[in-house]
Amino acid sequence: MLPRRQQAAAVASARPAPVELKAVRLVEGSTVREFAEKIEAKPRDIVTMLMQRGVMATINQTISPDVATEIGREYGYDVSFGDFEDMIVESEFEITPEAMEDNDPRAPVVTVMGHVDHGKTSLLDVIREARVAEGEAGGITQHIGAYSVEVPDPDDRSIMRRVVFLDTPGHEAFTMMRARGAKVTDIVVLVVAADDGVMPQTVEAIEHAKAADVPIVVAINKIDKPDANPERVKKELADRGLLWDSWGGQTTMVEVSAKKKQNIDGLLEMILLTADILDLKANPTRMATGTVLEAKLDRGRGAVATVLVQNGTLHVGEPFIVGNFSGRVRALMNERGERVQDVGPATPVEVLGLEGVPAAGDQFQVVDDVSKAQQISQFRQSKARATSLARTAARGLDQLAAQLESGEVKELLVILKADVQGSYEVLKDTLVKLSTEKVKVRIIRSGVGAITESDVLHAIVSNATASSAATVIIGFNVRPESRAEEIAKQEGVDIRLHSIIYKVEEEIRMAMLGLLDATLKEVVIGKAEVRDIIRVPKIGQVAGCMVINGSVKRSAQARIIRDNVVIFETHIGSLRRFKDDVSEVQQGFECGITIERFNDFKIGDVIEAYVIEKVAPSKLE
């Protein structure tokens, strides 16, 4: 077998010389194997190239877009990545481009915006009562924040056309959905009171609509009031860039009275005329796609999302992906709370069957490859988690001094775990007595046994919710469970492990004084699990071990941990691989270990190797 360098050289020499880069498009979260197939390379060659770049990955792991682009160029490919939903649409058009064209007219989707007291809600109520779809009249219960109305066609009043109205929670939500790339609104109806004129929230609504590049129809409301002055409103709107079409501008303005129900039909007709200019089209035969308007966790029904289906037809039983979650449509509920089997374009509907609660503005896409959707869902969730963790500044003892200096922290929150009841009672009393007028020490959680995942999650929540506090977990003669340790590292939760009470007190006291002047730092370098026990004459017990994490060095100090509790602390006596004395054994290898002054090994014990490093003292001015 060739040495690794020769293998790498052979791989490099086997690469085709790039002449002209061929475009290759990959879906987000593509694995090394999928990437290799796209650029016509062997997966093991890609793995070797990743190792050369210091990336340890298997063929089933996700490949970084930056690395994929770099390697792709070496093979003569211009690699780019796209969203899963976009790739689905592209593949649909590649198969049957003619059949995927949007040729069928669809209903316009309208959002009503305006100042809080200008009659937006009253106008929506009047429209809903006057022009609800057939069969909805009288005492309708709104199940979702959207509804359809039937409006006579301006050219042929015997023909009824549908208009969809959205009950938006406010301008902020509208802007947030636009920022997420969700274009759910075709037309904005801006409500302005004739007696009040343009107000700050009116200006805000205009700015949001313009930023979204959505046409505006102005409804000048409350014209029935004695002090109503529609002409003044039109002038004020003109000053804001909305010039009435009768004055040579392009903005349609309609004078209405929601209270007196005046000219509501005229407003609806103007909405239809604006929609005709937009020439809104869709294709009911495509796989359904839409946008989440709102989502919640319902105690009886699980995760429920209100989705505006924008294209295609959504059927019960279809698999889908929405934001970070995948699922299968278990049920569809229309705006009247009735179960339906399918819904077409420009239709709001409640969707049941989600695995989690998506965010407003997330794209909803029906898929045909369920396993791929689940893979993308897991990738997005891990990516979102990593992004969230990067933003979470978990405050620990190392940052406490600086925060004390600036006056940010007034409380040190401690989660205390110990090996026995007596130890944690003594520690609890000791730490609480350290409280001063400047900083209080508060034990928010304590107990006997290993540091658990629940302890770490409790610390995370405390850090996120307590703006003037820092949280630290202290383990006395106990160790964190593997899952708890993993989460703590990911989320930056500070875990301090001790076996001497006065050391705990000293460290906390120094932190509270704003001085972390410790010159020695303990670093765990590896762990080995006892798999076998060998009795050797004149030596005693030798632990047959597998190094399960890091490495074990003969020069290191060691602890014996049994059931997550430290039972002995000393040095490593000897370290052997087969019959040879060695100075170090790496993860994944077996070895024989003896411990000074300890001969009571049990299978399942963990030998934790650690070293004491000197750390330069740091002093805050």
Q: Are residues 497 and 533 in the same domain?
A: no
- Specify the pLDDT at position 403: 55
Q: List the strands of the sheet with 411-418, edge to edge.
A: 440-448, 411-418, 469-476, 494-498
User: What is the percent of the chain where pLDDT is above 90?
Assistant: 26
User: What is the percent of the chain where pLDDT is above 70?
Assistant: 81
Q: Are residues 330 and 372 in the same domain?
A: yes
361-371: pLDDT as tens digits: 888 999 888 88
Q: Are residues 464 and 510 in the same domain?
A: yes
Question: Does residue 619 carry a pLDDT above 80?
Answer: no
What phi-psi label fits residue 27: left (phi over 0), alpha (psi between -120 and 50 degrees) or beta? beta
Q: Are residues 254 and 308 in the same domain?
A: no
**Would 94 be classed as within a structural domain?**
no
Q: What is the CA radius of gyration of the chain?
A: 33
Who's near 270: CB < 8 A, 6+ residues apart?
A: 217, 252, 254
List the structure tokens of 526.
């590896």
Q: Are residues 386 and 314 in the same domain?
A: yes
Which band of pLDDT confidence, cut at 50, 70 and 90, is reported for residue 398? Answer: low
Could you tell me the residue range of the domain that residue 264 belongs to? 107-279
Most confident of 160-169, 310-319, 436-445: 310-319
Question: Does residue 328 carry a pLDDT above 80?
Answer: yes
List the structure tokens of 595.
């411990």
- Specify the pLDDT at position 576: 92
Domain boundary among 390, 407, 432: 390
Better pLDDT: 614 or 307: 307
> What single string gives the DSSP state of each residue in 258-288?
TTTTBSHHHHHHHHHHHHHHHT-EE-TTSBP
116-158: pLDDT as tens digits: 777 787 888 888 775 444 333 333 334 456 788 888 887 787 8
- Specify the pLDDT at position 465: 58
In the predicted model, what is the mean pLDDT of residues 89-101? 63
- Specify the pLDDT at position 517: 41
CA dihedral 471, 476, 481, 485 (to 10 degrees): 40
Q: Which helix (H) or strand (E) holds 282?
A: strand 281-282
In this structure, is the dihedral angle defined by the CA atoms of residues 287, 292, 297 and 300, taken in order, positive or negative? negative
CA dihedral 573, 579, 584, 587 (to 10 degrees): -110
- Specify the pLDDT at position 134: 38
338-350: pLDDT as tens digits: 899 999 999 999 9
- Specify the pLDDT at position 467: 55
CA 517 – CA 339 distance, rounded (Å) = 67
- Specify the pLDDT at position 408: 52
In the predicted model, what is the mean pLDDT of residues 103-123? 84
Q: Which helix (H) or strand (E) holds 311?
A: strand 302-311
Q: Phi, psi at residue 429, to the nearest 5°?
A: -65, -40
CA 235 – CA 218 distance, rounded (Å) = 13
Q: Are residues 599 and 530 in the same domain?
A: yes
- Specify the pLDDT at position 410: 63
Which band of pLDDT confidence, cut at 50, 70 and 90, is reported for residue 401? Answer: low
Better pLDDT: 59 or 223: 223
**Would 101 be classed as within a structural domain?**
no
Better pLDDT: 208 or 306: 306
**Would 314 be classed as within a structural domain?**
yes
479-533: pLDDT as tens digits: 998 888 888 888 888 888 888 877 888 777 766 655 334 457 788 999 999 999 9
- Specify the pLDDT at position 340: 93
Q: Are residues 406 and 473 in the same domain?
A: yes
121 alpha-carbon distance from chain centroid: 33
CA 269 – CA 349 distance, rounded (Å) = 25
- Specify the pLDDT at position 51: 86
Domain boundary among 254, 279, 304: 279
- Specify the pLDDT at position 10: 53
Most confident of 57-71, 191-205, 318-332: 318-332
Q: What is the mean pLDDT of the chain?
A: 80
In the predicted model, what is the mean pLDDT of residues 68-87? 84
Which band of pLDDT confidence, cut at 50, 70 and 90, is reported for residue 93? Answer: low
Query: In CATH, what number is assigned to the domain containing residue 181?
Result: 3.40.50.300
CA 402 – CA 20 distance, rounded (Å) = 55
Residue 457 CB coordination number (10 Å): 15
Q: Are residues 353 and 385 in the same domain?
A: yes
Most confident of 52-56, 463-467, 473-477: 473-477
Secondary-structure breakdown of the chain: helix, strand, coil percentages, each rounded to the nearest 5: 30, 35, 35
CB 404 within 8 A of CB 350: no
Beta strand pairing status for 342-343 and 469-476?
unpaired
Q: Are residues 594 and 531 in the same domain?
A: yes
Which band of pLDDT confidence, cut at 50, 70 and 90, is reported for residue 603? Answer: very high
593-602: pLDDT as tens digits: 999 888 889 9
Half-sphere exposure of 332 toward its Cβ, with a 13 Å CA cutoff?
Answer: 20
Q: Phi, psi at residue 95, to the nearest 5°?
A: -75, -55
Longest dimension (CA), the chain: 109
Query: In CATH, what number is assigned to the domain containing residue 297?
Result: 2.40.30.10
In the predicted model, what is the mean pLDDT of residues 9-24? 61
In this structure, is the dihedral angle defined by the CA atoms of residues 607, 609, 612 and 618, taken in order, positive or negative? negative
**Would 97 be classed as within a structural domain?**
no
**Would 209 be classed as within a structural domain?**
yes
**Would 180 be classed as within a structural domain?**
yes
Domain boundary among 245, 279, 313: 279
Better pLDDT: 382 or 529: 529
**Would 95 be classed as within a structural domain?**
no
- 397-406 and 501-512 are packed helices; what angle lies between their axes, rounded to 10 degrees? 30
List the structure tokens of 4.
């690794």
**Would 620 be classed as within a structural domain?**
no
CA 122 – CA 259 distance, rounded (Å) = 7
CA 204 – CA 219 distance, rounded (Å) = 16
In the predicted model, what is the mean pLDDT of residues 328-336? 89
Who's near 515: CB < 8 A, 6+ residues apart?
A: 401, 619, 620
Q: Are residues 373 and 318 in the same domain?
A: yes
CA 3 – CA 6 distance, rounded (Å) = 5
Better pLDDT: 251 or 613: 251
Question: Does residue 287 carry a pLDDT above 80?
Answer: yes
CB 190 within 8 A of CB 216: yes
CA 474 – CA 471 distance, rounded (Å) = 10
- Specify the pLDDT at position 233: 92
In the predicted model, what is the mean pLDDT of residues 197-224? 85
Q: Are residues 434 and 471 in the same domain?
A: yes
Lowest mean pLDDT among 100-104, 177-181, 408-412: 177-181
Q: Are residues 33 and 48 in the same domain?
A: yes
Task: Count structural domains, the chain.
Answer: 5
CB 171 within 8 A of CB 214: no
Q: Which helix (H) or strand (E) holds 49?
A: helix 43-52
